[in-house]
Structure 1
């Protein structure tokens, strides 16, 4: 079997990270629009705020259902095919959502959002694709660069709500769907990028390198298996994501109530979309903006320490939501901290999962991680609507805090190797 020189592997890795980063910029635009508009569209079409969380739940259910099949496709045919397929499904989903809004069909809206969620499963795989050929000492950094790239599109997506609505009116689109025009263009561009440029395939290359010799496999950090640490990593990532998704899913609805009740006067639709758009944009900036810092910290301090740092920020976010959640400024601070906590926990958790698994075992465990992450978030988002209606925004924050405590309590299970090696600490 032909071996690949270390210098050539590093060059392939640099090119892979650049392509994945560009794809995440494009994918982030669609993600930001879906997060901001999903709950509002669901509430509008269903006529019941308690059902608004089903939009985010449908996104995460779609991602959960397709994460494992997509990881199997990646293991057999490579990341290029799996990422391209994800973008194609997202395109179908966006078109379905626009149609659902036009015909005023809540069930059809959920179908479209499920397809968008299936596409998001592909976007989630991008961060793992960045680790396929990464050196262990730089795994967190490379993963976080791809995660950070979503910031550009993720922040732009919510901020495009108001101009999107104006553009939608010009072309005769249904209310609250104008910004999906930007999503359609971005998804097509990402699909073409992955299909044409992601060569050689990083996962297939990593499997070939690992099969060449034990030394080559060790260079990728995939010689030893640590299933207990891998299980904790999966729990930490899925739990942190569930906390983030459940609170974020209900924030647009909560802000809408606050805007309409401001000073006893009804706010205009533009006021509501602007408030929601700015708040979600700040949240998405928190999710992705400092991810390179958390990646570097995960490489230097150790994965577990950064996971715990993420839990501290999640707890602070929930505390603000509990005690200051009835003020727009309080909600914004809570959402920024929520995004930062999510970023630290998921970047370090994903690096830990890769670190704890052999090269051959990684795709399967990564698929399981993404599936459970999405499934727990779907349950959280679906229940969040009921909790918000019954106990308010503060009650939602208090409920989510239980998961944070559980992750902290179980964190010793994630420690592997020597404490002298920060990559395994």
Structure 2
């Protein structure tokens, strides 16, 4: 278990764990890694008693087969070169002409920005994940711009697939995505990767909405085959959108990009490279909150529960189905984000809660059925309508997805696109309030 954090000058550089002597290392740590029987010298970084296989970076990219176990180098072996032709843990050479440049003045908005907020919290809650990312991205591509695009693409992929950053930062030897790994991350490279992380978490979009990366022959094959659509190139690292053969990923990706561009136009931000200026027109705005119903009378709910209908159809069809099953719900939202009142207080929309839902029931909650097959089928209009509706009518009521309050009974992500959007709104509002409250204006000394 983790019992401490190693830091220098306030910067976290490792974790301290307490485990049985025969306990296996995490699956993402290579055998004979410097993490095995490692000691720490503040003046020199990590040192290790166990043999290390050096710092030759593997060929990175997505969906490679795991490499075999590396051998211990001879004692007098020269310093290994990195994949950019330099020695050891050095920065790559300048990118060749025509490699692409950052999208000037651009950032992500809407649900993609909310994914960055979720990633920030996940990294804060799990320092070990942050440390793992440092070693992966040092092996993938430590160029300042390329590594920013690596952080962005991992989080964008998380948003498209509806997963977590921890799942998207799995290595190939864990059945995951990344082949790149470097045992030792020098202080200079760590500073680059930390700055790249912070830039991505501040909603940057240098990758131009990328979700995947590869280099070398693999990148050339993917460009030639059309399996992936290239978005940008930095320091010989190619960045792509999701696999064109997976319809669900493509649908989710298009919705996320359209949502981001619609919000960008609303606030007057700079457009992304290659995105049509009229993208927002293809994603109609949510209905005006003024035309939506208000609070359920006579109830002060302890929670608001978001549901999916599990299919398409109309509000009337949803009412009929619920009635036939002896169920109910207070609100129903159609595909365009229009919300209707359905049932009164105490409508039977959930089982008595457990886990996060402990103590919650139909008598002290209010629910909304969102017409969608699953969480990936929720439209940008539905998300925006729910945000406005909750902000207006239930601004201080905790909001949960059905899968959170009845875990195991329903899909874990039921309602979570909407719930996470609302939670992000509230977190930003709380941060703004805290910042304002922390300011201590100087007293008027003229009085």
TM-score by length of 2: 0.24
Say which structure, 1 or 2, has more relative contact order (CA 8 Å, 6+ apart): 1
Q: Which has a greater percent of helix?
A: 1
Which of the two has higher C-alpha Rg? 2
